[in-house]
Chains A and B, each alone.
Chain A
Amino acid sequence: MLNIVKTAEEGKVTYSLEGRLDTNTSEELETDLTETIQEAEELIMDFEKLDYISSAGLRILLAAYKAMVKKGGMKVVHVNSTIMEIFDVTGFSDILTIE
């Protein structure tokens, strides 16, 4: 239900997510991210193909964001309007760097 494609280029790691980032699928991403964060300089979350996010997904984003702030930061790109609304009501659109 969540397809994770990870590409790395000189410390810049991009996660392209496809499907749903919810209670069921967030664990897999979280495990992967925890490792990546230790080495990555910069993090890009590509949401182009992501349809759905719940609070479980938001928690991971927030944790990753906090971890990356001291380094090259984290960007979320290609966010669709439905997910953008969720970022808006939760204040995440003010916190995260969204492009």
Chain B
Amino acid sequence: MSDDIFTIELKGRIDSGNSHEVEESIMNQLSGYTGKSVILDAEDLEYISSAGLRVLLRIKKTYPDLQIVNVRSEVYEILEMTGFTEIMTVKKAYRVVSVEGCEVIGQGANGTIYRIDKDNVVKVYNNADALEDIQHEREVARLALVLGIPTAISYDVVRVGDSYGSVFELLNARSFTKILVNEPEKMDWCVEEYVKMLRKIHDTVVPEGKLPDMRQTVIGWAEFMKDYLEPADGEKLLSLVKAIPHDNHMIHGDYHTKNLELQNDEVLLIDMDTLAVGHPIFELASIYNAYIGFSEYDHEVIKKFQGFDFETGKKFWHKVLSAYLDTKSETKIKEVEDKARIVGYTRIIRRSIRRGGLENEKSRAEIELWKKNLVELLHKTDTLNFELNELEIEADIDKLQEVLSFIEEHLSKTDCSPKAEMQISLAAEEIFVNIASYAYNPNKGKAWLRIEVSDEPVTVTLTFTDQGMQYDPLARQDPDVTLPAEAREIGGLGIFLAKQTMDDVIYEYKDGKNILQLKKNL
């Protein structure tokens, strides 16, 4: 009992039979106390009826700062139901749970998840003063559930050593990491389910203001990095992050296979405290880190974290990215991977530096490697945004097959006839070969291809862009197809064929770019 707080213990039951007595006893104890802060310790309180509640109200009138602490859950329920938790401070008694010897089933940015019995798990927070974190996670998990994301919501808060934990029901669940370790033949199935859930998260629109904006967070990281990069590189990083479009779709923030659980046949997402809104590149960055980034210098890191080796992690990441982008194009996969790496390195370099990484040799070497890769990527990247229907590719004839496969992949998702597919492919070949042969000659450069499919009428539009010399292929005179063979020149047919097989071809030169749009009605 300190000077300014007066604590009174409540015991047993308070109901109409004894409420007068209890009130009298409390008032007696308080007589002479001039402060305002009264605490009722309800550790041994078993029951309280409405007569008892009226006593509490009367005490509160005299002592407005009244608090009731150590409230058992049965009593807490009564107080909650009657609205008392809203009119006075009521603190629950926390069940004490030990995690000694318990299996670790998950590991997140802010805590560790243990299985405490067959049906229940507890997430123990790293931060000792975690009640706010727990509240936050509960709220975001509830939000996610309401928005259609299958997740577990904690039903109880417990004390674990000096920290707090939240308890979830998780029956018979196995993490995807465990499946990958014990049943490696199921990798493709894991990839499929993992990507299905990832898409579901990224397709979920979050009402304004409900979750933090990841872009703001990453802008903060990029600002931090300015002190550790050449000024031009620091500026470039910051401007790349700032240029990422605003996105109100959900991202998980720590989406790795320990946070995905298989419960019976249902896939459940856990560890929701990093939930945010933002562009998918932020998510891909953290996935890259989980499987490659953190272990890039020391390949043993992933073994400690996930239990499988670096090669398995690498393979998993590649399959995931390919499935997520719905493409087999290595160029496309690499393009998005490189963008993800920029954000990923930014995050882990900052994280390591803030944890004193510059002060020990191994971490310093690690930071050096990440930084070298980051700077290299910064020099060749113009945007962190990516579109599934766009391919950025070297304008080189060797890449033709990849361009055609990319188009074929997209057309296979439409009702395109084999004939139309062949004609589109033909036009694409002619245009790409033309760009590859002439646009940057004798130098090298890039070309961009975008493929769009629109309904009513069903139209496929290919847009080729290059930054080579200005050239309008449509300005060239069509070859005279009526000439006899001897008079025909070898060449000049490509563009003509593209024009003939497509329904509409438009050329534009804009901002230093040749833009050629080819339309085909299906």
Contact = CB atoms under 8 A, between A and B. Distances in A.
Contacts, number: 65
A55 B493 contact: yes
A52 B400 contact: no
A52 B425 CA distance: 9
Contact of B400 (A24, A55, A89): A24
Interface of B is mostly: helix
A95 B494 contact: no
A95 B488 contact: yes
Interface in A1-53: 1, 22-24, 51-52
B500 A52 contact: no
B433 A86 contact: no
Interface of B: 397, 400-401, 418-419, 422-423, 425-426, 429-430, 433, 479-486, 488, 490-491, 493-494, 496-497, 500-501
Interface in A51-99: 51-52, 54-56, 58-59, 62-63, 65-66, 69, 82, 86, 89-91, 94-96
Contact of B497 (A51, A65, A89, A95): A89
B406 to A, nearest CB: 15
A89 B425 CA distance: 17
B486 A66 contact: yes
Nearest to B486: A66
A22 B486 CA distance: 23
Contact of B493 (A58, A63, A94, A96): A58
Interface of A: 1, 22-24, 51-52, 54-56, 58-59, 62-63, 65-66, 69, 82, 86, 89-91, 94-96
B439 to A, nearest CB: 15
B72 to A, nearest CB: 75
B481 A91 contact: yes
B419 A54 contact: no
A69 B485 contact: yes
Contact of A24 (B401, B479, B493, B497): B401
Contact of B419 (A69, A82, A90): A82
Contacts of A65: 485
B494 A91 contact: no
A23 B481 contact: no
A54 B496 CA distance: 11
Q: Which 9 A-B pairs have the closest CB atoms?
A: A91-B481, A55-B494, A55-B493, A95-B485, A89-B500, A54-B429, A59-B490, A23-B433, A82-B419
